[in-house]
């Protein structure tokens, strides 16, 4: 019997991608269920979105590093995701590098959204990088998460035009509109594959 794909979402920011995922689920267009949302930022927008939709949301103190989590904290996150029986982990604006033990606990079960057409412009504020490079087109990419940052098999991408007079803000907003379409579509494809295997 078909059952919804169980998702766990990690995010640090406003949670617009998370909202887009949940709205598709609520509309019946995505056969998935968000079991848990975890944020490394207390009172982040993504935790507020979780509250709006009555989805369990948790703040996890990130520890003393700026760009990654301490291994014990990552272990705690693995435990929380496993207890919630998560099958696919979505990094939806999670501003830390994911390492072990998370990677080995969810092999090819973690996906990330990046605001450029990878492999172009990995790293932070990719829309600013595209603008500074004088590109005419950029976009967003969803990929599996591997040890190398913003690498990993690409699951889908969408192009976005760069318009004359674009500011970093206007360009990022246009990229995000595409992310909100791409991310649920990629999750739907993964859910389809899970169902075929079940």
Q: Are 91 and 113 in contact (CB under 8 A)?
A: yes
Residues present in the chain in total:
198
Between 11 and 57, whose beta carbon lies closer to ligand GRF? 11
CB of 104 to ligand GRF, least distance (A): 22
DSSP structure class, residue 53: T
Between 77 and 175, whose beta carbon lies closer to ligand GRF? 175
Between 183 and 190, whose beta carbon lies closer to ligand GRF? 183
36-65 residues near ligand GRF, rule: CB under 6 A: 46
Per-residue contact track with ligand GRF, 121 to 150, x per CB under 6 A? -------------------x----------
Helices H / strands E in the chain, number of each = 6, 7
How crowded is the C-beta side of 14, counted as CA atoms within 13 Å? 4
| Euclidean distance between the first and the last CA atom of the chain, given in angstroms as a whole number | 8
CB of 1 to ligand GRF, least distance (A): 32
What are the φ and ψ backbone dihedral angles of 138, each rounded to 5 degrees?
Answer: -140, -150
Please indicate whether residue 195 is annotated as part of the active site: no
Per-residue contact track with ligand GRF, 175 to 194, x per CB under 6 A? -x--x---------------
Q: Which residues are catalytic?
A: 114
């Amino acid at each position: 019997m078909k059952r919804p794909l169980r998702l766990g979402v990690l995010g640090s920011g406003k949670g617009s991608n998370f909202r887009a995922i949940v709205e598709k689920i609520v509309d019946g267009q995505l056969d998935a269920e968000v079991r848990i949302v975890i944020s490394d930022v207390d009172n982040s927008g993504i935790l507020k979105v979780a509250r709006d939709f009555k989805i369990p949301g948790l703040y996890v103190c990130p520890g003393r590093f700026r760009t990654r989590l301490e291994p014990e904290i990552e272990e705690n996150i693995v435990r929380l995701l496993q207890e919630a029986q998560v099958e696919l982990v979505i990094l939806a604006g999670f501003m830390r590098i994911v390492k072990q033990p998370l990677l080995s606990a969810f092999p090819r079960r973690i996906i990330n959204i990046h605001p450029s057409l990878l492999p172009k412009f990995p790293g932070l504020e990719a829309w600013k990088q595209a603008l500074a490079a004088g590109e005419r087109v950029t976009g967003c990419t969803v990929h599996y998460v591997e040890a190398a940052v913003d690498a990993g098999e690409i699951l889908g991408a969408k192009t976005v035009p760069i318009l004359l007079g674009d500011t970093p803000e206007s360009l990022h907003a246009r990229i995000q509109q595409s992310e909100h379409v791409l991310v649920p579509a990629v999750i739907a494809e993964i859910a389809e594959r899970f169902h075929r295997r079940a």
